Structure 1
Amino acid sequence: MRAMARALPSLLLRLLLTSTPGALGTNPGLVARITDKGLEYVAREGSVVLQRELLRITLPDFTGDFKIKPFGRGHFEFHSLSIHSCELRGSALTPLPGQGLSLTISDSFIRVQGEWKVRKAFVLLSPAADSKTRIQARLHGSFDVQVKGITISVNLVLGREPSGRPTVTAPGCSSHIRDVEVDISGDLGWLLNLFHNKIESRFRRVLESKICEMLQNSVTSDLQPYLQTLPVSFLAPVMSLPEQYNRMVYFAISDYVFNTASMVYHEAGFLNFSITDDMVPPGSNIRLTTKSFRPFVPRLARLYPNMNLELQGAMASAPFLNFSPGNLSLTPLMEIEAFVLLPSSAKEPVFQLVVATNISAMLTFNTSKITGFLKPGKIQVELKESKVGVFNVELLEALLNYYILNTLYPKVNGKLAEGFPLPLLKDIRLYDPVLEIHKDFLFLGTNLQYVRA
């Protein structure tokens, strides 16, 4: 049943979390539209998974007493109950406006098999002594139960904690069985068949409660823990999805999702960089040495003759993507500080620069994630501080345009090439994806395919 939670409600829950009012606040970062085509597909595939998982349910034993004239009292026990076969003939998923999802499975069939045993006391009369002898008889056999007309209905209701983190509950679950037929075989099986109505009633109650119990436990143990891992951040812009319905599923991903990732990369130091002379191509005419920097800073070579330099750079702030119709842009601002590498291995700061540029970005959407690539524009350099006198900023600007394009941006593009995973399960595949750029968000559409293990 847990696999059912992962394969069916979990998938749609992840997609609908942020499209349900109140789930993630007023302006969510991820919105999804599930079309009728998508709902039908996932419901169909989910019923296949549920059918397989139902076969793994272990039903509880149950016991009871009976009294039938002229046999008197006895005690019965049904044990080793297991679902032998299962057929789910109809399933449907429907949205609950403003709440979540409703899953309904109807007109289904289950066959249960197991063992029974009876303890019955018989009294024998002795003709010679006119005495009574009590004998305990223990009889056993097997049984077969046909459970027909099963209907299951469960609601997945989405909400949020005061912190904004989403929650999911399954307060409404019902399971109804139209007909139960018990066939009991073995010694004294005919006796148990005399009160089959009582046994069938017990089977009905056990199965109805067990099915709902497993579904609700799955929500608690699988879906809710997943929601606790979702990050909650600042409010995103309002997104209005275009009216398209050809694909099964549509995503609208706010620019704040990518910008939050940028903040994480920035805080973790992934966007920092360092350039030393050994990183400069061997055939380059300009080296990271005080001698080579004489045209930029004449006094530098006199104060620190024949020494290597190191440039350390960092983003002044996390670079944010700007989304506009058909276009993505980025305006990072970098701070670069130069150090002389002294013979003592110490580093002597000599100047600081501020570097700005305009960058356009390309995004691609494949079967599992969104990847990106930055196309930087021309770099502009401003001198922030010089401890070594006059500085030729224009000449250094040309140098940095070459080296930063070949050091920093390949590193950033390497991270972007790793991509931003879409909120999908490992056994879900996408096909026929499309991607559009709108103001403040990306719009993605795709069809889904569930890959059975």
Structure 2
Amino acid sequence: MEASARALLSLLLGLLLQSSSGAPGASPGLVARITDKGLEYVAKEGLVALQRELRRITLPDFEGDFKINHVGRGRYEFHSLDILSCELRGSALTPLPGQGLSLSISDSFIQVQGRWKARKSFLKLQGSFDLQVKGITISVHLVLGSEPLGRPTVTASSCNSHIRDVDVDMSGGVGWLLNLFHNQIESKFQKILESKICEIVQESVTSDLQPYLQTLPVTAEIDSFAGIDYSLTEAPQATARVLDVMLKAEMFNREHRSPVPFLALVMSLPEEHDRMVYFAISDYVFNTASLVYHEAGYLNFSVTDDVVPETSNIRLTTKSFRSFVPLLYRRYPNMNLELQGRVVSAPALTFSPGNLSLAPQMEIEAFVLLPSSAREPVFQLGVATNVSATLTFNTSRITGFLKPEKVQVKLKESKVGAFNVELLEALLNYYILNNLYPEVNDKLAQGFPLPLLKRIQLHDPVLQIHQDFLFLGTNIQYMRV
């Protein structure tokens, strides 16, 4: 084989291995889309948090020299500086395509109070002052990423703050002193505050926002043996009006995780902006769940005579089967039967516009329970049914409910001759509809949690069913401590 052909083959094999291992860039099972309305709400809540942090700014004392004609040089000092109030207004959080997010804050002000001293030789003056800082603007560039474990990250790559105007009002009837060097004082205050504002913003991103993003669950427990993997498949992506967060959303066995033999399909999300957040949930999520529960044997079942209702005309005994399976009774007179059922393969949930359905295929094997406690296989049945599904949403979880149709039964193999399966079909319909599916629905009623940050609640949901995925729109509310 030529070298170029070998290189091409190696490249194709590498790409196949990458895609099958769920490498970054593979299609996500779930996309969380934050719209411009959601970003507006996030900016508003972020403003409240940042305003609280700015009120805690510790401003340093500062001093300097002044010169008065015919008097000479002196020194001044400003100390005990406290922020009395801080009001941030006009915030906006804007996606920067291919870069991240831009946070801008405008038309804000801060009020500061403190003490001052001035001295020249034996002349000493002191008093208090009020400082009005007006027209504050802040601009921050936030870069979003993903760490190796799949958690989101955020860093402030740049921060700029500007103050339009600073007014100092000094007590003690010393306006003449202020007029001598107010430009110097106000300029120093402006530089200190502009520096402190960006320092606080950087610290807040590192110590508050980044740890808060870490509350996004990478895995969530479903029950004693199943979990869901919510790690990011790549860094969040910003477009002109939305921010998309791509998550694997793969169900797995908590004791023994094995590769999933299929990939999530690419979802073509509709352009919806009425809600703050949209969750596009691929059928991949539900079908990996089906795979996990199937491999764990959760969908297998066993039917014995003690679960057949007392009013039933047919019992799970060879005597009861005597009229339509004569050979069974002759070979095994007055013995009990057991039916063991299994789902042939993990049933795939099919999404089509406005509809959810699945068509599980089952096999049921009948055994005679011998006096020695051994079990003798006697016949095998094929069972098919169509099931429609409904999915619902509460404040944090997707839940489901299955509505099965009657099962159809056919005889696949028999060691006791051919027979009509109609009576068995009636018995199996009763058991499956009244025992098996209620168990499954109890499990589905527990649902699975959506990937939510701490203290986030969802409300006003709207649920759409598209080809191969669900599209859940909802508003959000941050529950403050």
TM-score norm. by structure 1 comes to 0.70
TM-fit CA distance, 1:254: 1.9
Q: Please give the residue correspondences for 1:216-255 in structure 2 after superposition, counting only pairs within 5 Å.
A: 216-224=206-214, 226=216, 228-229=218-219, 230-231=230-231, 232=248, 233=250, 235-255=263-283
Return the match for 1:439 from 463, 467, 479: 467
Question: Is the Cα contact below 8 Å between 2:216 and 2:451 reproduced in 1?
Answer: no
Distance 1:349 1:160 in 2: 57
Q: Which moved more, 1:278-287 or 1:404-413?
A: 278-287
Question: Is the Cα contact below 8 Å between 2:387 and 2:404 reproduced in 1?
Answer: yes
Deviation digits for residues 111-148 of structure 1, max 9, x if unmatched?
355x6698999999xxxxxxxxxxxx9x9987654333
Distance 1:93 1:291 in 2: 76
TM-fit CA distance, 1:184: 6.7
Distance 2:120 2:325 in 1: 110
Shift in alpha-carbon separation, 1:437–1:73, aligned structure 2, 3 A:
closer
Q: Please give the residue correspondences for 1:83-98 in structure 2 after superposition, counting only pairs within 5 Å.
A: 83-98=83-98
The alignment status of 1:430 with 2:459, answered yes or no, reads yes
Unaligned runs of 5+ in 2: 1-22, 220-229, 232-247, 251-261
Q: Please give the residue correspondences for 1:35-434 in structure 2 after superposition, counting only pairs within 5 Å.
A: 35-36=35-36, 38-39=37-38, 42-44=39-41, 46-48=43-45, 50-51=47-48, 54-56=51-53, 58-60=56-58, 62-63=60-61, 66=64, 78=80, 81=82, 83-112=83-112, 144-160=130-146, 165=150, 167-178=152-163, 179-181=165-167, 196-197=185-186, 198-224=188-214, 226=216, 228-229=218-219, 230-231=230-231, 232=248, 233=250, 235-289=263-317, 291-292=319-320, 294=322, 310-337=338-365, 348=375, 350=377, 353-365=381-393, 368-381=396-409, 389-390=416-417, 392=419, 394=421, 395-424=423-452, 426-431=455-460, 433-434=461-462
> Which residue is equivalent to 2:239?
none
Shift in alpha-carbon separation, 1:150–1:286, aligned structure 2, 3 A:
farther
TM-fit CA distance, 1:424: 4.6
Give the total of aligned pairs.
408
Question: Is the Cα contact below 8 Å between 1:254 and 1:442 reproduced in 2?
Answer: yes
Distance 1:117 1:282 in 2: 95
Q: What is the percent sequence identity of the aligned residues?
A: 59
Shift in alpha-carbon separation, 1:155–1:199, aligned structure 2, 3 A:
closer
Q: Which moved more, 1:293-302 or 1:145-154?
A: 293-302
Distance 1:281 1:222 in 2: 55
Distance 2:200 2:79 in 1: 19
Shift in alpha-carbon separation, 1:382–1:168, aligned structure 2, 3 A:
farther
CA RMSD across the alignment = 4.6
Deviation digits for residues 413-439 of structure 1, max 9, x if unmatched?
2223333444455543332x4433332
TM-fit CA distance, 1:257: 2.2
Q: Secondary structure at the match of 2:286?
A: helix
Distance 2:118 2:370 in 1: 95
Distance 1:100 1:200 in 2: 29
TM-fit CA distance, 1:369: 4.4
TM-fit CA distance, 1:210: 0.8
Q: Which moved more, 1:253-262 or 1:66-75?
A: 66-75
Q: Secondary structure at the match of 2:425?
A: helix
Shift in alpha-carbon separation, 1:85–1:278, aligned structure 2, 3 A:
farther
Question: Is the Cα contact below 8 Å between 1:339 and 1:349 reproduced in 2?
Answer: yes
Distance 2:94 2:190 in 1: 32
Distance 1:330 1:381 in 2: 17
The alignment status of 1:25 with 2:10, answered yes or no, reads no
- Counterpart of 2:351 in structure 1: which amino acid? F
Question: Is the Cα contact below 8 Å between 1:314 and 1:334 reproduced in 2?
Answer: yes
Deviation digits for residues 357-384 of structure 1, max 9, x if unmatched?
3322233456654433222234244667
Question: Is the Cα contact below 8 Å between 1:44 and 1:91 reproduced in 2?
Answer: no
Distance 2:136 2:333 in 1: 88
Question: Is the Cα contact below 8 Å between 2:349 and 2:356 reproduced in 1?
Answer: yes
Shift in alpha-carbon separation, 1:315–1:209, aligned structure 2, 3 A:
same
Unaligned runs of 5+ in 1: 1-22, 125-136
> Which residue is equivalent to 1:130?
none
TM-fit CA distance, 1:206: 1.7
